[in-house]
């Protein structure tokens, strides 16, 4: 079995999407991992799935295993802990 994940920053849906593990037998599925579909700046310290994200522009996997999301509308970079699912601002004004 091959497991792969792709993380996608979607300004259209105002969320961070991830494609679930794709195996040889299954096509996989797309799941919202962060952002509730509303454009704003809320949710720091809470679940990323309940947070608002303003114009997600890019996403990167950090050396610590966390996801870093650039929010163009909020002028910030937010960190999502993949173990806990919590979101926090690490740079910018929000």
Note whether residue 1 is domain-resident: no
Once rounded to an integer, what is the mean pLDDT over residues 34-40? 80
Q: What is the arithmetic mean of pLDDT over 25-31?
A: 60
Residue 11: phi and psi, rounded to 5, are -70, -30
In a domain, 69, yes or no: yes
Residue 79 lies in a domain: yes
Instruction: Give CA–CA dist 87/94, Å, rounded.
Output: 13
Helix, strand or coil, per DSSP, at residue 94:
coil
In a domain, 81, yes or no: yes
pLDDT computed for residue 17 by the predictor = 57
Domain tally, the chain: 1
d(CA 90, CA 2): 33
Residue 38 lies in a domain: yes
User: pLDDT tens, 45-94?
Assistant: 999 888 888 888 888 889 998 989 888 888 999 999 989 989 999 999 87
Domain containing 62 equals 6-92
Q: Confidence band (pLDDT; 50, 70, 90) for 22?
A: very low
Q: Tokens for 46?
A: 């809470």
Residue 83, token pair as written in the block: 């173990």
> 42: helix, coil or strand?
strand
The model carries a pTM of 0.74
Model confidence at 2: pLDDT above 50: no
Residue 71 lies in a domain: yes
């Amino acid at each position: 079995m091959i497991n792969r994940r792709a993380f996608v920053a979607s300004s259209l849906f105002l969320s961070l999407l991830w494609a679930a593990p794709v195996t040889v037998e299954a096509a996989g599925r797309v799941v919202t991992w962060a952002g509730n579909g509303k454009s704003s700046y809320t949710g720091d310290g809470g679940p990323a799935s309940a947070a608002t994200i303003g114009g997600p522009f890019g996403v990167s996997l950090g050396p610590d295993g966390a996801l870093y999301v650039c929010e163009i509308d909020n002028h910030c970079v937010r960190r999502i802990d993949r173990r806990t699912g919590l979101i926090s601002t690490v740079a910018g004004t929000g």
